[in-house]
Amino acid sequence: MSGSPPLVEAYDLEKVYPDGTVAVRGVSFRAGRGLTIFMGPNGSGKTTTLSITAGALRPTSGRVLVCGYDVWGRDWSRPRSCIGYAPQAMPFREKLSVIENLTWYGLIRGLPPWESRRRARWLLEQLGLEGLERKKVSELSGGQRRRLTIAASLIGDPEVLILDEPTSGLDPKARASLWSLLRRVAGDKAIIASTHIPDEAEGADYVYIFHRGRVVAEGAPGELIGRYVRYSRVIVKGSGLEVAPTMEWARLVEAGWDRAVYVTEDPEEALPRLVERLLKLGARIERVEVRKPGLAEVFLAVTGEAPEGGA
Partner 1 sequence: MSSTVWRVLSEVYASLKGMLRYKETLFWVIIFPLLWYGLMAAIWSNPSPPTIKVGVYNADQLQGPYNISEALIKAMNSTGFMKPIPFHNATSLREAVLHGKVDVGLIVPGNFTESLMEGSSATLKLLSVKESWGNFAYSIASSFIESFSNEFRRRVINVSISYIVTYFNSTQLGGAYPNWTYYAIRWLRFISDPIRVNASVYTPPLLATKGGLRAYYALSMIGVEALFVGLFTGALSVNEKRRDGTLTVLLASPMRDWELFTSETLAALASVGVSAAAVAAMSIATGAKYVVNTESLLLAVAFLLLGTLFTIGLGVILAALAKTPEGASALVNAIAFPVMFIGGIVIPYYVLPGYLKAFARYWPLSRFVIASRSVLLGLMSSSDAASFSIPAIIATIATYLVGVAIFKKLLARALEYH
Q: How far is the CB of 1 from partner 1 (least distance, A)?
A: 22
Q: Residue 113, interface with partner 1 (CB under 8 A)? A: yes
Minimum CB separation of residue 16 from partner 1 in Å reads: 10
38 near partner 1, rule: CB under 8 A: no
Instruction: Give the binding range for partner 1 (CB under 8 A) out of 102-110, 124-132, 140-148, 169-177.
Output: 102-110
Q: Does 18 bind partner 1 (CB under 8 A)?
A: yes
Please report how close the Cβ of residue 161 comes to partner 1 at its closest, in angstroms.
12
Tell the smallest beta-carbon distance from residue 46 to partner 1 (Å).
14
**Quick one: 11 or 72, whose CB is closer to partner 1?**
72
Closer CB to partner 1, 85 or 208, in the complex:
85
Options 47-55, 203-211, 240-248, 274-282: segment touching partner 1 (CB under 8 A): 47-55
User: Sign of torsion, CA 262 265 266 270?
Assistant: negative
Residue 281 found at the interface with partner 1 (CB under 8 A) = no
For the chain, the DSSP string reads --SSPPSEEEEEEEEE-TTS-EEEEEEEEEE-SEEEEEE--TTSSHHHHHHHHHTSS--SEEEEEETTEETTSS--HHHHHTEEEE-SS----TTSBHHHHHHHHHHHTT--HHHHHHHHHHHHHHTT-TT-TTSBGGGS-HHHHHHHHHHHHHTT--SEEEESSTTTT--HHHHHHHHHHHHHHHTT-EEEEEES-HHHHTTSSEEEEEETTEEEEEE-HHHHHHHH---EEEEEEEESGGGPPPBTTBEEEEE-SSEEEEEES-HHHHHHHHHHHHHHTT-EEEEEEEE---HHHHHHHHHSSPPTT--
| Per CB under 8 A, 51 contacts partner 1 | yes
Q: Which of residues 57-86 bind partner 1 (CB under 8 A)?
A: 57-58, 76-78, 80-81, 83, 85-86
Task: Give Cα 76 distance to the centre of its chain.
Answer: 27
Distances (CA, A) of 194 to 84, 87, 238: 14, 10, 37
We find the least distance from the C-beta atom of residue 93 to partner 1, in angstroms, to be 6
Among 3, 70, 89, 239, binds partner 1 (CB under 8 A): 89
Contact between 109 and partner 1 by CB under 8 A: the answer reads: yes
Residue 38 φ/ψ region, left for φ over 0, alpha for ψ in the -120 to 50 degree band, beta for the rest: beta
Q: Which of 1, 10, 54, 150 binds partner 1 (CB under 8 A)?
A: 54
Tell me which of 112, 142, 226, 282 binds partner 1, using CB under 8 A. 112
Q: Does 227 bind partner 1 (CB under 8 A)?
A: no
Scanning 96-104, 219-227, 251-259, 292-300 for contacts with partner 1 by CB under 8 A, the matching segment is: 96-104
Complex with partner 1: residue 83 or 191, whichever CB lies closer: 83
Which residues are at the interface with partner 1 (CB under 8 A)?
17-18, 51, 54-58, 76-78, 80-81, 83, 85-87, 89-91, 93, 95-97, 100, 103-105, 107-113, 162
